Chains A and B, each alone.
Chain A
């Protein structure tokens, strides 16, 4: 749910990075944080366990600039990927404006990808959304790993609705901003339609 504040002339949108455990959602945000100018970002918050696994969410506020006199701000969130944190994932999807599904390209994580994508659809439905009606992109992360599944196969398995898809290596930043831009554009385009 985008928030338009006519008083401060700001548009605020919420983007959520979803995906199986250890697929690189937090790494995406960390890279974006590290490469964004200080005046365009807020503090990055990670609610993580002692072993650096996301416990509740990561949060990164970004300010992109003005559009028609309104400052556009994106609030980036990740969900905890581990299966048993499902209750937390549902909470974070509340008020979402756009979703990026981060898939782990490794062969051994295919089942986890599919399970997580189904979980995303189910959790959105529970909140009254439909994934196919939301701004939505897919990122195939960890393209540099030897066991990475060919992109065509991944696409066939995970991108059945043919949404924009990107190859990425989040640790080095490849594809990270392309993914974010594509999603942000979809969300802003959605704003044209109004509520």
Chain B
């Protein structure tokens, strides 16, 4: 298959979480999410636990995909950043390493300028981690699911 599984190990997730935590603190934002382009949440920081992060991740990915579609139509390579300004909360989204989306939710406690500045630094850090993920993917670890039995699968549907 063209797109292999995305496998994230604890080390990389922990590092991404640390980047998200630092970004949330340094940018004085409310919440930070690291989402993969297919809408899977990888790390969340700040007040993210109060949000429906699953839905948010899916919609963010849909939004970025739609914007990517627009870029393709007008022969622009990619729109790397998006900004939605709200009355209370604004959202800054940026694509990192072509694979991830960094989402920052912020209010009047900070400025868009500061958020953008901090996002730039965090993006570089995330790209380094993503390179590690890509390297590990080239040397796949043991597939823990190789031993899944039909009974295991059937048990999921027993209710």
Q: A42 and B3: CB pair below 8 A?
A: no
Q: Given contacts A8-B13, A42-B54, A181-B157, are A194 and B65 in contact (CB under 8 A)?
A: no
The reply on B59 being an interface residue by CB < 8 A is yes
Q: B62 and A5: CB pair below 8 A?
A: no
B37 CB contact (under 8 Å) in A11, A75, A94, A191? A94
The reply on B140 being an interface residue by CB < 8 A is yes
Q: Given contacts A43-B52, A195-B140, are A56 and B62 in contact (CB under 8 A)?
A: yes
Q: A68 and B147: CB pair below 8 A?
A: yes
Q: B152 and A3: CB pair below 8 A?
A: no
Q: A94 and B148: CB pair below 8 A?
A: no
Interface residues of B: mostly helix, strand, loop or mixed? mixed
B62 CB contact (under 8 Å) in A11, A70, A91? A91
Q: Which residues of A contact B36 (CB under 8 A)?
A: 3
Give the size of the chain A interface in residues (CB under 8 angstroms): 47
The reply on A129 being an interface residue by CB < 8 A is yes
A77's closest neighbor in chain B, by CB? Answer: B58
A-B pair count, CB < 8 Å, reads 134
Give the size of the chain B interface in residues (CB under 8 angstroms): 43
Q: Which residues of A contact B74 (CB under 8 A)?
A: none
Q: Which residues of A contact B2 (CB under 8 A)?
A: 127-129
Please tell me which stretch of A58-66, A140-148, A158-166 contacts chain B, meaning at least 4 of its Cβ atoms lie within 8 angstroms of it.
Answer: A58-66
The reply on A2 being an interface residue by CB < 8 A is yes
Q: B40 and A12: CB pair below 8 A?
A: yes
A69's closest neighbor in chain B, by CB? Answer: B144
Tell me, in angstroms, the Cα distance from A129 to B69 when the chains sit together: 19
Top 3 A-B pairs, shortest CB-CB distance = A128-B2, A95-B38, A7-B13
- A3-B36, A11-B145, A193-B146 are known; give 14 further A-B pairs, CB within 8 A: A3-B38, A5-B42, A42-B54, A45-B58, A56-B62, A67-B145, A67-B152, A68-B148, A87-B69, A88-B66, A91-B66, A189-B153, A194-B146, A195-B137
- 16 A–B contact pairs at CB < 8 A? A1-B5, A1-B6, A2-B5, A4-B7, A5-B8, A7-B10, A56-B62, A59-B55, A87-B73, A91-B68, A127-B2, A189-B148, A191-B5, A191-B145, A195-B4, A195-B5
